[in-house]
Every structure is written in C-alpha cells, then in structure tokens.
C-alpha cells in the first residue's frame, strides 16, 4: 500500500458520449456501485484531489459529491478533458484514467505511481503487441502541457499520437487484460464475467 501522493491529482475521464454502449458508461456497475464512484474512490486513495472530467452539457446531471472539471476547449475527445484539467491546475501532475476500463485495480495504479519518472512527459502503461503507451491510464507530468498546447494548436487531438512523439516512461502491466476497454454491451458483459469468474479484479485481492 502506498500513501497519497502530494501534487498528484486524479482525473476520471467521463466526458464521452457512450454511443457504442448505448448508455452512460459511468453509470454501469461492475462492483455494486457506479463505475464513476468506484474509480473516483480508487483514485482518492492515491491522489491529493480527484475530479470527474465531463463535457459542459453533462454538468447538470452529476452529484455534488464529486469534484468536477468541464471541458473548456472546442475539440471533442479525451485530450480535451486532460488538457482542460491542466489549464485549471497547471502545477500538478495528473493520474488520468478512462471510465471504460473495468478490470483496472488499485494495485495497477500503484505500479504506475511507483514506476513514475518525473523527468519524462508521462508515465504510461505499454499496451498491445506493439507495446504502445496508453494515454488514458497514465500520469501526465506538468511539463507535458506546453508541448500539448502546441500539438493541439496544430489541430491535432489524439493523445496517443502525442505520447508517441514524446519522451514517455513505459510501464509493463502484470497482465495486459487490466487495460481492456468495455465500449459495447457485449464487452461489458465479457468484463463482468471475467470479474465474477476470475481473481483478476476481486476487490478483496486488489490492494
Ligand atoms: N472529458 C472528456 N472525456 C472524453 C471525451 N470523449 C471521450 N472521453 C472519455 O475518454 C474515454 C475514451 O472514450 P471513447 O471510448 O473513445 O469514447 P466515448 O465517447 O466514451 O464512447 P463512444 O461514443 O462509443 O465512442 C472515456 O473515458 C470517455 O469518457 C470528451 O470529449 N471529453
């Protein structure tokens, strides 16, 4: 177990449209509570402060129990959420996670934190056969945002492409499936089955 990290803020990206799922992915439940609440609490164990990242028109539908940051730029996609968080608090690093990774455990985030390299643009899990950085489960250092602003200024909005052109500390997860995305009802069902039938994400064994 590691302590809360000073100057590390947590961001749960929830500003997507969930069109493939057909319902808000933040409201799905894999562990007996909404995924939004589950991941918020997980980050709260590790970070100084935690925020839910949303696009502007979702702000009225969220409980006041959560700290929130609304997208304030004009391009769609997760980089907008990350960049808007930085604009609000430019001097901290951000531990960013996507709402649609139901197999992610607190111990995986601890691995990211203990592997963190403050000198790099970001510390990110390596995913897939090509071991590319996963921008939506990563620590973004404060120094990443000047180059990010330039990148966005060139009308680019892909956070993975940005990290591919940056100096990133790659972290190799114990098991690649922890980063599985559940974007459709079928993927969500498959994730739930994995949770119920394997120990990978049994909350009792996650810490
Ligand atoms: N703040 C913010 N987060 C976003 C935005 N778009 C996507 N995200 C988040 O980024 C992560 C990955 O999103 P995607 O799965 O690519 O897109 P989605 O909109 O959630 O789902 P689809 O509509 O099915 O593509 C999820 O955690 C989303 O909530 C956005 O415009 N703003």
CA pair distance 65, 24, nearest whole angstrom: 18
| pTM exceeding the 0.80 threshold for the entire prediction | yes
- Do the annotations mark residue 25 as ligand-binding? yes
- If you measure from the C-alpha of residue 183 to the centroid of ligand 1, how many angstroms do you get, rounded to a whole number? 10
**What is the best residue among 22, 24, 69, 78 to mutate for testing ligand 1's pocket, by most ligand atoms within 8 Å of CB?**
78
State the DSSP code for 44.
H
Residue 18 pLDDT exceeds 70: yes
Q: According to the model, what pLDDT value does residue 77 have?
A: 94
Ligand 1 binding site (Cβ under 6 Å of any ligand atom): 13-20, 25, 53-55, 71, 76-78, 80-81, 98-100, 136, 183
Q: Look at residues 75, 93, 103, 65 and name the one whose alpha carbon lies nearest to residue 15.
A: 75
Domain boundaries defined on the chain: 5-205
Q: According to the model, what pLDDT value does residue 5 have?
A: 81
The ipTM, to two decimals, is 0.99
- If you measure from the C-alpha of residue 36 to the centroid of ligand 1, how many angstroms do you get, rounded to a whole number? 13
- What's the CATH number of domain 5-205, 3.90.550.10, 3.40.50.9100, 1.10.10.10, 3.40.630.30? 3.90.550.10
Q: What is the pLDDT of residues 156-166, one digit of tens each?
A: 889 999 999 99
Burial of 62 (0-12, 13-18, 19+ CB in 10 A): middle
Q: What is the mean pLDDT of the chain?
A: 93
């Amino acid at each position: 177990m590691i302590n809360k990290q000073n100057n590390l803020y947590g961001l749960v990206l929830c500003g997507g449209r969930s069109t493939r799922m057909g319902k808000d992915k933040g409201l799905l439940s894999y562990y007996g509570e909404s995924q939004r609440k589950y991941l918020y609490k997980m980050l709260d164990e590790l970070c100084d402060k935690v925020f839910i990242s949303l696009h502007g028109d979702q702000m009225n539908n969220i409980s006041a129990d959560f700290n929130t940051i609304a997208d304030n730029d004009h391009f769609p996609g997760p980089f907008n959420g990350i960049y808007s968080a930085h604009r609000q608090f430019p001097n901290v690093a951000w531990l960013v996670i996507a709402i649609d990774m139901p197999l992610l455990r607190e111990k995986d985030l601890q691995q990211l934190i203990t592997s963190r390299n403050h000198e790099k643009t970001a510390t990110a899990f390596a995913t897939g056969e090509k071991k590319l950085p996963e921008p939506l489960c990563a620590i973004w250092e404060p120094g990443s945002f000047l180059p990010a602003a330039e990148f966005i200024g060139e009308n680019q909005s892909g956070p993975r492409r940005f990290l591919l052109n940056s100096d990133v500390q790659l972290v190799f997860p114990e098991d690649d499936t922890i980063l599985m995305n559940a974007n459709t009802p079928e993927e969500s069902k498959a994730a739930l089955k994995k949770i119920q039938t394997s120990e990978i994400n049994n909350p009792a064994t996650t810490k």
